[in-house]
Chains A and B, each alone.
Chain A
Amino acid sequence: MELQKVLHQKFGYESFRPGQQEVITELLAGRDTVAIFPTGMGKSLCYQLPAYMLDGVVIIISPLVALMEDQVANLRKHKEKRVVAINSFLSRKEKELALSTMAQYKFIFLSPEMMMQQHVRQLVQQLPIAFFVVDEAHCISEWGFDFRPDYLRLKELFSFTERAPVLALTATANKKVVEDIITYLRLRNPHIQRQPMDRPAISYRIVHVDNESAKTEWISERLATTIGPGVIYVASRKRADELAAIIRQRGIPTASYHGGKEQDERSIIQEQFIQGELEWICATNAFGMGIHKDDIRQVIHEHLPATPSAYIQEVGRAGRDGDKAAVTLLYSERDSQKVKFIVYEDLPDEQQILYYHSLLQSGTATLLAAEQAGLSEIASRLLDYYLEQYEVENVIRQIQQIYQVKEKHIAEMESYVKSDSCLREKLMQFFGENILPAETDCCSNCQNLDDDWLIKSEASTKQETETLQWHERLHQLLG
Chain B
Amino acid sequence: MSLDSILLTIFQRLHGERSAQGVYHILRGKRSGQTLQDVEYYQVKSYYALLPQLTASEFQQTLERMQADGLILINELVYVTAKGQMATGSEMWRFNGWNYRGREREFGRRLALLVQTLSNLRSGETMFMPIQKELPTQQFIKSLLRNQLSNMTNLSTSLRKELEQALIQSSLSDLQRTIVTSRLTGYGFTASTWEQLAESLNVSAKTIQLYYLEALHILLDYLPQQPNMPLLTELAVGCRVDTYLTQSAERTQKLFERGYSLEQIASLRNLKLSTIEDHFIELAANMDNFPYEEFVTKEQMVTVWRHVEQMQTKRLRLLKEQCPELSYFQLRLIIIMERRES
Per the bound structure, the CA–CA distance linking A335 and B199 in Å amounts to: 33
| A476/B185 in contact, CB under 8 A | no
Q: Does B132 contact A (CB under 8 A)?
A: yes
Per the bound structure, the CA–CA distance linking A234 and B286 in Å amounts to: 52
Known: A77-B127, A474-B164. Is A267-B132 also a contact (CB below 8 A)? Answer: yes
Known: A255-B193, A265-B193, A268-B190. Is A477-B129 also a contact (CB below 8 A)? Answer: no
| A267/B133 in contact, CB under 8 A | yes
Within 8 A of A (CB), among B138-171: 153, 156-157, 159-160, 163-164, 167
| A479/B190 in contact, CB under 8 A | no
Query: For residue A467, which residues in chain B have a CB less than 8 angstroms away from its CB?
Result: 200
| A73/B133 in contact, CB under 8 A | yes
Chain A nearest Cβ from B198, distance in angstroms = 11
Known: A94-B135, A271-B190, A470-B177. Is A478-B157 also a contact (CB below 8 A)? Answer: yes
Contact-residue size bin, chain B (C-beta under 8 Å from the other chain): 35 or more
Binds A, one of B73-81, B83-91, B115-123, B323-331: B115-123
| A479/B153 in contact, CB under 8 A | yes
| A473/B194 in contact, CB under 8 A | no
Per the bound structure, the CA–CA distance linking A265 and B185 in Å amounts to: 12
Query: For residue A268, which residues in chain B have a CB less than 8 angstroms away from its CB?
Result: 131, 185, 190-193
Query: For residue B178, which residues in chain A have a CB less than 8 angstroms away from its CB?
Result: 470
| B181/A271 in contact, CB under 8 A | no
Known: A255-B193, A265-B193. Is A478-B132 also a contact (CB below 8 A)? Answer: no
Q: Does A101 contact B (CB under 8 A)?
A: no
Query: For residue A248, which residues in chain B have a CB less than 8 angstroms away from its CB?
Result: 199
Residue of B122, B164, B184, B190 most packed against chain A (CB within 10 A):
B190
Q: Mark A444-479, 1 if CB is under 8 A from B, else 0.
A: 000000000000000000000001001101111111
| B156/A263 in contact, CB under 8 A | no
Per the bound structure, the CA–CA distance linking A474 and B167 in Å amounts to: 11
Which residue of chain A has its CB nearest to the CB of B176? A470
Q: Does A9 contact B (CB under 8 A)?
A: no
Chain B nearest Cβ from A111, distance in angstroms = 15
Q: Does B188 contact A (CB under 8 A)?
A: yes
| A478/B186 in contact, CB under 8 A | yes
Q: Does A55 contact B (CB under 8 A)?
A: no
Query: For residue A476, which residues in chain B have a CB less than 8 angstroms away from its CB?
Result: 186, 188-189
Chain B nearest Cβ from A77, distance in angstroms = 5
Which secondary structure characterizes the binding site on chain B? Answer: helix
Per the bound structure, the CA–CA distance linking A269 and B194 in Å amounts to: 11
Query: For residue B180, which residues in chain A have a CB less than 8 angstroms away from its CB?
Result: 470
Within 8 A of B (CB), among A226-263: 248, 255, 263
Query: For residue B200, which residues in chain A have a CB less than 8 angstroms away from its CB?
Result: 467
Which residue of chain B has its CB nearest to the CB of A277? B190
Per the bound structure, the CA–CA distance linking A275 and B190 in Å amounts to: 8
Known: A268-B191, A277-B190. Is A474-B160 also a contact (CB below 8 A)? Answer: yes
Which residue of chain A has its CB nearest to the CB of B109? A264
Q: Mark A261-298, 1 if CB is under 8 A from B, else 0.
A: 00111011111101101000000000000001000000
Per the bound structure, the CA–CA distance linking A69 and B129 in Å amounts to: 12
| B133/A478 in contact, CB under 8 A | no
Q: Mark B9-40, 1 if CB is under 8 A from A, else 0.
A: 00000000000000000000000000000000
| A477/B153 in contact, CB under 8 A | no
Which residue of chain B has its CB nearest to the CB of A66? B133
Per the bound structure, the CA–CA distance linking A264 and B192 in Å amounts to: 10
Chain A nearest Cβ from B4, distance in angstroms = 21
Q: Does B244 contact A (CB under 8 A)?
A: no
Which residue of chain B has its CB nearest to the CB of A278? B190
Chain B nearest Cβ from A131, distance in angstroms = 25
Q: Does B305 contact A (CB under 8 A)?
A: no
Known: A477-B160, A478-B156. Is A269-B193 also a contact (CB below 8 A)? Answer: yes
| B164/A471 in contact, CB under 8 A | yes
| B193/A470 in contact, CB under 8 A | no
Per the bound structure, the CA–CA distance linking A73 and B184 in Å amounts to: 20
Query: For residue B157, which residues in chain A have a CB less than 8 angstroms away from its CB?
Result: 478-479
Per the bound structure, the CA–CA distance linking A121 and B299 in Å amounts to: 67
Per the bound structure, the CA–CA distance linking A470 and B153 in Å amounts to: 20
Among B128, B160, B190, contact of A478 (Cβ-Cβ < 8 Å)? B160
Chain B nearest Cβ from A411, distance in angstroms = 38
| B129/A73 in contact, CB under 8 A | yes
Per the bound structure, the CA–CA distance linking A265 and B133 in Å amounts to: 11
Per the bound structure, the CA–CA distance linking A295 and B119 in Å amounts to: 25
| A69/B189 in contact, CB under 8 A | no
Query: For residue B222, which residues in chain A have a CB less than 8 angstroms away from its CB?
Result: none
Per the bound structure, the CA–CA distance linking A54 and B194 in Å amounts to: 47
Known: A73-B129, A267-B131, A473-B182. Is A479-B192 also a contact (CB below 8 A)? Answer: no
Per the bound structure, the CA–CA distance linking A78 and B127 in Å amounts to: 8
Q: Does B130 contact A (CB under 8 A)?
A: yes
Chain B nearest Cβ from A54, distance in angstroms = 26
Per the bound structure, the CA–CA distance linking A463 and B134 in Å amounts to: 34
Q: Mark B290-328, 1 if CB is under 8 A from A, else 0.
A: 000000000000000000000000000000000000000
Chosen A-B contacts, 22 in total, with CB atoms closer than 8 Å, are A69-B133, A73-B130, A77-B128, A78-B127, A94-B135, A255-B195, A263-B133, A268-B185, A268-B191, A268-B193, A271-B191, A275-B188, A275-B190, A470-B181, A471-B181, A473-B181, A477-B187, A478-B119, A478-B122, A478-B156, A478-B157, A478-B163
Instruction: List 6 other contacts, CB 8 Å, given A268-B192, A270-B129, A271-B190.
Output: A77-B129, A277-B190, A471-B167, A473-B184, A474-B163, A475-B160
Chain B residues engaging chain A, CB cutoff 8 angstroms: 109, 112, 115, 118-119, 122, 127-136, 153, 156-157, 159-160, 163-164, 167, 174, 177-178, 180-182, 184-196, 199-200
